[in-house]
Amino acid sequence: MPLWNEIEGEILADNLPLERLLRSEGRTAWFATTGADGQPAVVSVFEALNDEDAVQARLQAAARFEHPGLLVIRRIGAGRLDDESLVYAVMEPFDQTLADVLRDRTLDPGEAREVAETLLSTLEAVEGAGLYHGHVDASGVLGVGDNIKLRSDCLIARHADSDAPALAALLYNALTGRRFSSERDALQLPAPFATVVRAGVGSNGSLAAMRRALSGPAVTNGGAAAPGASSATKPVEASPAARSVAQAAASPRATRRTDEWEPRPRKRPGVAVAALVIMAIVLVAFWYAFKRPAGHTPISGEAPSAASQPKPAPAAAVPPAASPVGDAAGTMGAPETVKPAPKSATGPAAKPAPSSVDTGANQSVAAERSVWHVVAYTYTRQETAQHMAAELAAKYPQLEPQVFSPNGHAPFLVTLGGGMNRQEAFARREAARTAGMPSDTYAQNFRR
């Protein structure tokens, strides 16, 4: 068999030209071609190694299984070229692959979610039909107009294999640009992808587990499905992520973010105002609860309440002195007759210690107020996070977007506001969601 690039320009059976080599992988290659109707197409050519009938039967089964998330197989045939038996499948053309996009940049969480929902729905249908894809990788994810599709010339009968691990690795690669190696790698991903990726790998990994992690629990209100639960039936057409796969070079990232936010359903103004009023009441009540004056504590110079004989004074009440304290003891708590203790011969008297109750409370409040953050996005590059924070600040200045790094290096988090306590963080999260921020915005305690 000659090399695949050596048969460019040859004519296969049924007057099928092999115009340009698009990709090759072992005994299979893709060529650009022109169909009998004069329209552009892609032909997948297989080298037949005494299994011509088996390859044709497999392709016929793949062609019979139709799904909007799979590349359409138009016709199947066989022929000879240089005394070599070849089997071919003519497929619809595509514009670009996900691998082409990832060579320039990674996907943001919004794009990755749309890719995940489309591919997961397609693979669930493939598995439900008793088939196995086996080639879920970036080069097999294709942009066809405004749609995302998987290649279909590789479908085979399924036995015990699952495409879940390959899909999990693909999502990790699309978000980070790195190869997936272990479940630990997924911990750095933003929600819900850390859970989705881990649900697809390991001994219990499956497409069903990934679906549960991506969609979340189904919550209904008067018979209406929750937004997360409805994503399983979301159509694959006209998704912004598909336009990124098909037109990545012509679509600036900032423009795509605006397009992504605009379709988001807006809540009624009355609900938003009520939520803000409730949040303000909670914050004021919390402030008064922790800022009110502490109870009375003894001051330096005040006589002890039950001293009849000279005793060493407590550190927080009366500083030690070298002179007699009988006058002070005899007054039994009358501050107006207490005389200040003279200076010690060995140096100045020790300063009274601050109240341990006030100090502990203040430190506790300060620690709690400094460790909670509301996280909207997670990035591996600081400049990308700063760019997103600037975009959010222009659109939502009241949320105070900024960049926060828990460890001084990646990951870099785009947070809403600085450090705060738990109640403030969750109130800020709800305000962000009400304002139109992503529904997976979350609050987390970053206590060290």
Transcribe 14-61 into DSSP letters: GGEE--EEEEEETTEEEEEEE-TTS-EEEEEEEE-SS-HHHHHHHHHH
Between 365 and 168, the more confident residue is 168
- The predicted pLDDT at position 49 comes to 83
Full-model pTM: 0.51
- The predicted pLDDT at position 327 comes to 38
Instruction: Decide if pLDDT at 258 tops 60.
Output: no
Q: Are 37 and 51 in contact (CB under 8 A)?
A: no
- The predicted pLDDT at position 425 comes to 86
- The predicted pLDDT at position 291 comes to 57
Mean pLDDT of 294-305: 42
- The predicted pLDDT at position 179 comes to 93
Confidence category of residue 347, pLDDT binned at 50, 70, 90: very low
Least confident among 92-96, 156-160, 216-220: 216-220
Mean pLDDT of 123-146: 95
Q: How far is 68 from 164, CA to CA, in rounded Å?
A: 20
Between 251 and 244, the more confident residue is 244
- The predicted pLDDT at position 310 comes to 46
Instruction: Decide if pLDDT at 104 tops 60.
Output: yes
- The predicted pLDDT at position 95 comes to 94
Residue type, 362: N
Mean pLDDT of 3-26: 89
Least confident among 27-31, 70-74, 137-141, 309-313: 309-313
Q: Are 365 and 421 in contact (CB under 8 A)?
A: yes
- The predicted pLDDT at position 370 comes to 57
Packed helices 382-395 and 253-261: angle between N→C axes, nearest 10 degrees: 50
Least confident among 23-32, 118-127, 263-272: 263-272
- The predicted pLDDT at position 38 comes to 86
Between 411 and 69, the more confident residue is 69
Confidence category of residue 93, pLDDT binned at 50, 70, 90: very high
Name all domains of the chain by residue range, CATH numbers in brackets.
Answer: 4-91 (3.30.200.20), 96-218+228-261 (1.10.510.10), 269-290+361-445 (3.30.70.1070)
- The predicted pLDDT at position 50 comes to 85
How many CA within 13 A on the CB side of residue 422? 4
3-class secondary structure, 362 = helix
Instruction: Decide if pLDDT at 106 tops 90.
Output: yes
Q: Are 36 and 15 in contact (CB under 8 A)?
A: yes
Between 192 and 242, the more confident residue is 192
Instruction: Decide if pLDDT at 334 tops 50.
Output: no
Alpha helices in 264-398 (DSSP H): 269-291, 326-330, 356-369, 382-395
Between 114 and 263, the more confident residue is 114
- The predicted pLDDT at position 118 comes to 96
